[in-house]
Structure 1
């Protein structure tokens, strides 16, 4: 590119480089999704089409960005975990955050007709997502992060299930339902659901209660290779591993991530 006397303005650009040897979590959240979901008539308390669309968009992000080791999603949010060895965009924060937000938003809009074929998007009410990057020093913190998001999923879904059951089946106004649940704990909400409506919360769809985990099914051999230090890998080996990750199937799981069982084999998907 030819230089010009105006090029000095580039000196004002500042890149924030994320710390090396740390896990990067990129969390996306729907922007104004309460209004968005109401506008398109999402089913309450959970719309399986909408959650399926979120999962499908997240899978496409993982296919396009093989540096993603795994992801967790619930409601209108998704978190993507990048390994400690990740060098994507030289770990430039602005580049990572903008790429994930724009890629996810584009995929969500592109896939929309598959999940809402009878409801075309209105150009005045388009979905969009913002993103942030957070660093964690060890797998312990990554595990606790996943646990935090799943605990949040449980708390919010139990409340929403009880709230909307009181409204849709109990005939309460939204204000009265909110007042009825004020100060209640999880046991109280379970009792309301079971005693008044015969609903056992534990029998609700597991995706609603646990959220969704996405990991690459790369196989044991490839997983072992992924755990090697990045500096010990040749360029050819790194390219071969990236090709394998791009081709790997994305496994969709609805499991508990707070207990130990899921994490005993965590080395298969994150290093």
Structure 2
């Protein structure tokens, strides 16, 4: 681009590079989704169509951005994890956040008719905001993921009990809130079981555990020496791959199927059996049955 007297304005753009060798989480949240869910009559406490739509949009983000190693979603939020070795957009925070937010939003709108065929979107359209958070260690990252899954369980147990009191118990919102004030998890389970014959443990896992999205390879045998638990190995300086090796790994990632599962990943087993998520090295491609 030719120089001009106006080019000085470039100096106003400040660098926003994220720290190297840290895990990056891009967390997105729906904007005004309480009103949005009411507008399209989402089922309470959970609308499976809405959750499946969120998951479908997240899948597309992982397919298009191989730098995203895993993602986790609950309700109207999704967390996308970039490996500590990620160099996408030179680790510029604004570029990473806006790319993932805009891509997710675009797919959410594009895929909407597949999940809500009889409710065409009208203005105001759905939107999402986002932020970038850095975590220096694998344990920090796993604790973040665990926090979100625990939050999923706590919120879903409350919402399930709250809406059951309203829909089946005939209470209004204020009465239901008062009924649940100060209750523990055991109290809510007892309300559901003793009054409505509902065993919370039988609720679908997608509601209780949320949705984790990742590239799927053959599972490995879980051991205590698994790379998924070896902090030293996972935080050691990255060894630069040759162009041939990098291209081979890129193709391996493209071949891997992106899957959505509703499982407990707080325990070590999930990560031990899927070491490729934290190591960012492709696993063994599953054979078709």
Specify the TM-score bucket, using the shorter chain as the normaliser.
over 0.9
CA contact 1:214–1:252 (8 Å) conserved in 2:
yes
CA contact 1:218–1:244 (8 Å) conserved in 2:
no
Map 1:124-163 onto structure 2 (within 5 A): 124-163=123-162
Q: Which 10-residue stretch deviates more, 252-261 or 74-83? A: 252-261
CA contact 1:218–1:245 (8 Å) conserved in 2:
no
Taking the aligned partners of 1:127 and 1:112, their CA distance within structure 2 comes to 10
Taking the aligned partners of 1:208 and 1:198, their CA distance within structure 2 comes to 19
- For 2:277, the equivalent position in structure 1 comes to 269
**Structure 1 residue matching 2:278: 3-state secondary structure:** coil
Q: CA deviation at 1:261?
A: 1.6
Taking the aligned partners of 1:214 and 1:35, their CA distance within structure 2 comes to 27
Map 1:39-118 onto structure 2 (within 5 A): 39-118=39-118
- For 1:256, the equivalent position in structure 2 comes to 264
TM-score w.r.t. structure 2 length? 0.88
Which aligned segments of 4 or more residues in structure 1 are displaced greater than 3 angstroms?
A: 218-221, 227-231
Taking the aligned partners of 2:41 and 2:57, their CA distance within structure 1 comes to 20
Gaps of 5+ in 1: none
CA contact 1:15–1:94 (8 Å) conserved in 2:
no
Q: CA deviation at 1:63?
A: 0.6
249, 253, 261: which one pairs with 1:245?
Answer: 253
1:210 paired to 2:206 = no
Deviations 1:178-201 (A, max 9, x none): 111111111110010000100000
CA contact 1:15–1:93 (8 Å) conserved in 2:
no
Q: Which 10-residue stretch deviates more, 253-262 or 96-105? A: 253-262
Taking the aligned partners of 1:49 and 1:247, their CA distance within structure 2 comes to 28
